[in-house]
Structure 1
Amino acid sequence: MATPRTRWLLSILLVNLSNCFTLAGPPAPPSLPECYIPCDEENCTVDIHCTWDPKQDPQIPTNYSLHWEAANTEEGHVINVTSSNGFIPREDFSNGELRVWVQAKNQHGSAKSQEAVFNTAEIIKPPPPNVTSSHQEPSVIEWISTCEQLQLSLGPCDVRHRTEADQVWLKEEDGFHSSYIFDSPQPCTVYEFQVRCVCATGLMSDWSAIHKMQNKEIAPVGELDVWRDCGISTASFDCVLTWKLSVSQTCLILGYDVRLSYNNGTAVSSNVSAAEPRGQLVCNEMQCHFNSSLKDVSSVSVSAYNADGSTVPSHLAMPISGKEKNEQAILLKMNEENLTVFWDLPSQFTDNLKKYVVQYKQAGCPPGQGFDWIKVEKKHTTGFFKGQFKKYTPYQVSLFTVSNSSEIHHLSSVIGYSFQGTPSRVSSFKVFSIAATRVTLLWEPVPLSKQNGVILYYQIGVDRQNVYNVSASPQHENKTFELLHLSPGQEYEVWIRAVTVAGPGENTTTRFKTKHHEDFALLILVLLGLIILGVICLFFVLLSACRGESKACPLLPLCFYEKVPDPRNSHIFRQMKHQINDPLARICIPVSEPHPKISLLEVVEIQPRAFKSSLEKISDPDGLTRLEVGDGCSELECQDDQREDAVTEECHRTDHRHGREEYSKMVDSDDERDKEEEDRGDCWSSSEEEQLTSGYEKHFMPTALEVLEI
């Protein structure tokens, strides 16, 4: 049984054998020979030249021979020649009819062509004519034949022509002798002509050399198709002005007039030459773009000109930017050769509509490259482009509307690919924030130039168990995603990748460890709050206790002590003390301080049983009841005398401890003192004073002893 290798070798052997048998046969018969007597501009040769087609390229050696004989004799001649041409010497033929054929022969046999029969006087072949052109209107093609120089009469001539851009001859006409009138030439079009002629007798000459003719220069016609190239941006200052040239406008254009009108009412005109475009103007076969910023430009106008005139200016208002009406307005069908764009807008967007403009731009291309646009009538909702669209390359397709008032609105844009592949890996993927049971992830989208297709979504996986799909729109913003229901204090490995219709891209991985449970942190906060609250409560308890004591509290800061009046600094009490120490003064004399103001203190009337008989009530004119001891001194003065030393010592400590300023300018209240206080006499004893004096008086008012010591 034959193996596959054996069958393969047998098939090759059979093919080779069949080729051998095919090539081993006799040669194919050559074509009918064409024989002529060639002439130049002065005379003709005497030999007959013959040419033929061998019909095949022989694989084995083949010999060719040229045979001829006169029609009225059987005497023949033969000569060995090359495979495609040969000549008959003049001495081997006579004027008259002649029969000529070609024979091919190899080792397997021979083959013979058909016989060509002709008169040797009728095979004269003149040289091609010399073609010229006149400057008459209409255009005329003229030529000079060599028949007259050969002493032959001129016969008819054939003429054919074509445009320079088209390599197919458009038309062939005959019957002309020395000139040809070319009707209805297209303006700014270059034409090519060829002429061949025959003398009165003989064969037709070969075609002449190509003669080019350009129609008379006229002013360029039509309007330029003006638009702008913004790349994949919509900012006007990133755009350049561009326009298309039609066939009738590409010839004999000397330059362009460009006028830019700005929002502030000013306008700038530029005249750029098309002969040597450089700098501001760059042109290719069908487009030109003007390298000048369109920032703050409201409208533009462009016209082409030459020596005979210019085109009508083409106007373009800058598109009005704004929010896109509908992201789903555009649908694409795209391959490497064609791009078809479909759109469907609601009726409210078609009011006052004049036409659509559809454009595409290859991402990353400089201005004027990878860019094209078409204008579509409002009754159509489809646009078609033909070109070479690269694989894995993003193309931004945009749709605009043009209103009847020439306002342009940008409706929508979408990214398309002729062929999509898997995207590149995400370059930046990190942890944004970490908690005990959740974490926030942050990544940057794959750049447009590296997406290789439309990214449908991003996939995020946790320890190869849970996979989440995250939307990919919008395309150009940072992405975040929160992972929930994680375990506290555990390490995790997270990966991310982008996905297109061709499949997912490469993974980008990062690791993190969650924090311990939040309850511990919450417990710490609660305990800390309780401690602070306890400290505050203890502080207020100490403050209340200290305020209840007569002496300063050493546990409190200085700022918590209230400022109290120092009785030692009162001029009123100093004068009273001097009067009491005076031997002539038996009673308490009122203080004669100008405009004294002593605040009236309401004294709570306390009458102990042991001393009730020795007390007398004295009422001052203001209606306040005061206590008076037997010698005529008031309760206030008696208490001051007994407490002066204690208060002085305590106040010295207090002032030193707290840094208080002495109240040397203390103002005493009450405009008028009671005159009854002048008759007050002796003071109580210290024990009685302690019993009958209130806490306020003990703290603030001087005793009688303090006054007397002065």
Structure 2
Amino acid sequence: MATLRTRWLLSILLVNLPTCSASGPPAALSPPDCNIPCDEKDESNNCADIHCSWDPWLDPQIPTNYSLHWEPANNEEGHVISGTNLSGIILRAHFSHGDLHVWVQAKNQHGSAKSEKAMFNAEDIKKPPTPNVTLSYLEPLDIEWTFSCDELQRSFEHCDVRHRAEEDQVWVENKTGVHYTFDSHLPYTVYEFQVRCSCDKSLSSDWSAIHRVRTPEMAPVGELDLWRDCGTSQATSDCFLTWKRLPTSQARGLIWGYEVRLTYNNGTAVLVNMSTAGSEGRLVCDEMQCHFNLSLKDVSSASVSAYNALGATVPSYLTMPISGKEKNEPAIHLKMNEDSLTVSWGLPSQLSDNLKEYVVQYNQAGCPPGRQFDWIKVNKSQTTGIFKGQYKKYTPYQVSLFTVSHSNEVHHLSSVIGYSLEGTPSTGPSFKVSIADTHVNLFWEPVPLCMQNGVILSYEVIADGGENGQKVYNVSASPQQENMTFKLQDLSPGQQYDVWIRAVTAAGPGANSTMKVKTKHLEDFAILKPLLLGIIFVIFVCFIVVLYRAHQGECPLVPTFLYEKVPDARNSHIFRHMKHQINDPLAWICIPVYEPHPIISVLEVVEIQPRADGLTQPVVGDQCSQTDCQDDQGEEAVMEECHRTDRRYGREEYSRMVDSDEERDRKEEHREDSWSSAEDEQSTSGYEKHFMPTELEVLEV
């Protein structure tokens, strides 16, 4: 409560403060300044009347009446002149020679005030005539003027002379006689001079009119402040040479033109001489800078020198930044308003001993970019640069930091965008969507730089589902991000949403970008999912069956070179196997594989011997060993194993074999009963006819 009462009393005090100061006790006036001007050229200044002036009292806008009072020092008889002017004249007829007391009184609606008395002798306040500067010599620089104390009938005392360069504001003052020699002047510089003089026992005269003189020209000195203007890009193809014009103290004359030398990457050099009077548009200069309109593409280094009628400056060199060596360090910090820009940074992580200086530049980055561009060079021991200028509101300025080595190599360290005053973005980002049943993916590009009106801190995403409510999301933004993405989750299937996106700066959110989106129905996916799962299951089952049959030898999907090359000893087995395949419902998966004819390298001769029962049997050699007999007894088992092997390896039938199933069964029943009968010979298998030689053929060999 005490705080509120204090604020209330303070507000009343502030409101009534002007009235109180105006109606308070009258402030004292300063004493009047009086003199008797003596100038024979001015009839009003007749070296007789006293001219007095004084400063205004209180606010000059308030109507005030002034009265000038004077009286001799030896009596009380006084005189007064009233009026509203800030000066008055005491006529010679109204005062006598001797000491006078003069004062001023002011009166207005708020009160009155009286100045202190000024006391002087009328003979001592005479002011001699103003000197007249007549001559000036350039070598050396001498100034002469005319002055006389004859009007005062007194002797000359001294003169004061003051001078300054034309662009300076401060005068330099010296005492002298009737002329002045200026030794410490700069060449080709305009200087301004003023003179006043005084006589014995008199006041000083008024200052003379300003006299201007330009010093002689000399050859220019120093080097040009050379740099490059690349706009918001750092590509050399977008860069142009620029430099600051020499100050008068270094130009020391009228600069006639500039000499530019460009050295290209292939070693060739080009020399361009441009006159300031006319260079066919290649050279554009204003009061501060010059711009060379020739692209620096493929240029490795450049040098520029200025020349006048008496000589030229030492060339200034600049090496183009080397591609690939830029580092985004250190971070740049800006403090910017409409009148100044302060840039600060930290030391680089690797500070080179070859470092000569830093270069800080800024350029307007609007749409299209403006021509506001400037740079300063900072000593390597400092980490702050200050610019003075007029910076537009809501306009982006790109500030960049560079290092320059003693060999004039330039390296770009970092860049940042700043604003003198930020506003809200004038437009929202354009975006695209990818729609699913319960989520929507958003894709958008940042707001164009010229419409951001400030540094974008984040993006605000809003999804309004009507009765289902509104969802708000904040997506942080980074200056380095070129594309933004965001996923709206937990949405209702088949629901329509209004989606808004807007950029947010320090001044608040900007304009909206809006789009209507409708999520997909969940039924569409409910139908497709079982169908897809069924297809995948069928493919998986078929794949397992194929692998199993390939492992069992029933499906020769495995390449034939993986199988052992065993000929089918019994053709009837192949037909049986084909029949089995026809009756097998999954046999369509298995496709017969062609088997080349086997190569028989060893052939054993088998003789037919009679048996006790009148039959014959084959004997190997002279006798049948126990092992051989066991082999004969297990022949049927072997033949069954061969049958299984035939089915396992999938042998093809031999060409032109037409044995039926009945013939094959009959042959198998009579094979052990009669090996030498004619009927067996007629029913010999196709395999034997095709591959086995006859007995006569073997004996002939």
Q: TM-score range, shorter-chain basis?
A: 0.5 to 0.7
Q: Verify the 8 A CA contact 1:193 1:210 in the aligned structure 2.
A: yes
2:268 paired residue number:
266
Cα distance change, pair 112–486 in 1 and its aligned pair in 2 (3 A): closer
The CA distance in 1 between the partners of 2:347 and 2:66, in whole Å, is 77
2:137 paired residue number:
134
1:477 paired residue number:
482
The letter for the 2-side match of 1:521 is L
1:339 paired residue number:
341
For residues 152-191 of structure 1, the aligned pairs below 5 Å read: 154-171=156-173, 173-176=174-177, 178-191=178-191
The letter for the 1-side match of 2:527 is F
1:568 paired residue number:
none
Shift of residue 451, structure 1, vs aligned partner: 2.0
The CA distance in 2 between the partners of 1:395 and 1:72, in whole Å, is 75
Post-superposition CA distance 1:337-362 (Å, at most 9, x none)? 44343333555453643332222222
Cα distance change, pair 129–521 in 1 and its aligned pair in 2 (3 A): same
The percentage of aligned residue pairs carrying the same residue is 53
TM-score norm. by structure 1 comes to 0.64
The CA distance in 1 between the partners of 2:113 and 2:536, in whole Å, is 121
Shift of residue 151, structure 1, vs aligned partner: 8.5
Q: Verify the 8 A CA contact 2:226 2:243 in the aligned structure 1.
A: yes
The CA distance in 1 between the partners of 2:182 and 2:415, in whole Å, is 51
Q: Which residue, out of 479, 491, 498, partners 1:493?
A: 498
- Partner of 2:528: helix, strand, or coil? helix
Cα distance change, pair 112–249 in 1 and its aligned pair in 2 (3 A): closer
For residues 496-645 of structure 1, the aligned pairs below 5 Å read: 496-517=501-522, 518-524=525-531
1:381 paired residue number:
383
Aligned alpha-carbon RMSD (Å): 5.2
2:459 paired residue number:
458
2:442 paired residue number:
441
- Partner of 2:216: helix, strand, or coil? coil
For residues 317-328 of structure 1, the aligned pairs below 5 Å read: 317-322=319-324, 324-326=326-328
1:88 paired residue number:
91
Shift of residue 446, structure 1, vs aligned partner: 1.1
- Partner of 1:33: helix, strand, or coil? strand
Verify: 1:354 aligned to 2:353, yes or no.
Answer: no
Q: Verify the 8 A CA contact 2:133 2:143 in the aligned structure 1.
A: no
The CA distance in 1 between the partners of 2:127 and 2:478, in whole Å, is 82
- Partner of 1:482: helix, strand, or coil? strand
- Partner of 1:299: helix, strand, or coil? strand
Cα distance change, pair 80–480 in 1 and its aligned pair in 2 (3 A): closer
2:198 paired residue number:
198
Cα distance change, pair 49–131 in 1 and its aligned pair in 2 (3 A): farther
1:571 paired residue number:
none
1:363 paired residue number:
365
1:208 paired residue number:
208
Post-superposition CA distance 1:269-309 (Å, at most 9, x none)? 33333357883333333322222222222211111111111
1:33 paired residue number:
34
Shift of residue 382, structure 1, vs aligned partner: 3.4
The CA distance in 2 between the partners of 1:220 and 1:338, in whole Å, is 32
Choose 97-106 or 193-202, whichever is displaced more: 97-106
The CA distance in 2 between the partners of 1:194 and 1:61, in whole Å, is 36
Flag structure 1 segments of 5+ consecutive residues without an equivalent.
534-546, 549-599, 626-710
Post-superposition CA distance 1:312-333 (Å, at most 9, x none)? 0001111123364235633334
Shift of residue 210, structure 1, vs aligned partner: 0.5
1:312 paired residue number:
314
2:226 paired residue number:
226
Cα distance change, pair 60–30 in 1 and its aligned pair in 2 (3 A): farther
The CA distance in 2 between the partners of 1:428 and 1:365, in whole Å, is 18
Structure showing greater Rg = 1
The letter for the 2-side match of 1:461 is I
Q: Verify the 8 A CA contact 1:127 1:146 in the aligned structure 2.
A: no
Post-superposition CA distance 1:522-554 (Å, at most 9, x none)? 445578899999xxxxxxxxxxxxx99xxxxxx
Cα distance change, pair 126–409 in 1 and its aligned pair in 2 (3 A): closer
- Partner of 1:326: helix, strand, or coil? coil
Post-superposition CA distance 1:622-655 (Å, at most 9, x none)? x979xxxxxxxxxxxxxxxxxxxxxxxxxxxxxx
Cα distance change, pair 510–55 in 1 and its aligned pair in 2 (3 A): closer
Shift of residue 211, structure 1, vs aligned partner: 0.9
Shift of residue 378, structure 1, vs aligned partner: 3.1
The CA distance in 1 between the partners of 2:64 and 2:353, in whole Å, is 81
Aligned residues: 553
Cα distance change, pair 369–327 in 1 and its aligned pair in 2 (3 A): same
Q: Verify the 8 A CA contact 2:32 2:118 in the aligned structure 1.
A: no
The CA distance in 1 between the partners of 2:656 and 2:81, in whole Å, is 164
1:330 paired residue number:
332
Cα distance change, pair 155–81 in 1 and its aligned pair in 2 (3 A): farther
Shift of residue 494, structure 1, vs aligned partner: 2.5
The CA distance in 1 between the partners of 2:143 and 2:172, in whole Å, is 16
Cα distance change, pair 11–337 in 1 and its aligned pair in 2 (3 A): closer
Post-superposition CA distance 1:56-106 (Å, at most 9, x none)? 36966747467576x99999888888841325357x778x64647467597
Shift of residue 194, structure 1, vs aligned partner: 0.7
- Partner of 2:526: helix, strand, or coil? helix
Post-superposition CA distance 1:497-527 (Å, at most 9, x none)? 2233444334433222222332312445578
Choose 436-445 or 46-55, whichever is displaced more: 46-55
- Partner of 1:249: helix, strand, or coil? helix
Shift of residue 603, structure 1, vs aligned partner: 7.7
Q: Verify the 8 A CA contact 1:39 1:124 in the aligned structure 2.
A: no
The letter for the 2-side match of 1:85 is G
Cα distance change, pair 283–65 in 1 and its aligned pair in 2 (3 A): same
Shift of residue 8, structure 1, vs aligned partner: 11
The CA distance in 2 between the partners of 1:341 and 1:330, in whole Å, is 7
The CA distance in 2 between the partners of 1:328 and 1:29, in whole Å, is 59
The letter for the 2-side match of 1:238 is D
The CA distance in 1 between the partners of 2:461 and 2:113, in whole Å, is 81
Q: Verify the 8 A CA contact 2:194 2:209 in the aligned structure 1.
A: yes
Cα distance change, pair 65–237 in 1 and its aligned pair in 2 (3 A): same
Q: Verify the 8 A CA contact 1:131 1:211 in the aligned structure 2.
A: no
The letter for the 1-side match of 2:376 is I
The letter for the 1-side match of 2:405 is S
- Partner of 2:450: helix, strand, or coil? helix
- Partner of 2:321: helix, strand, or coil? coil
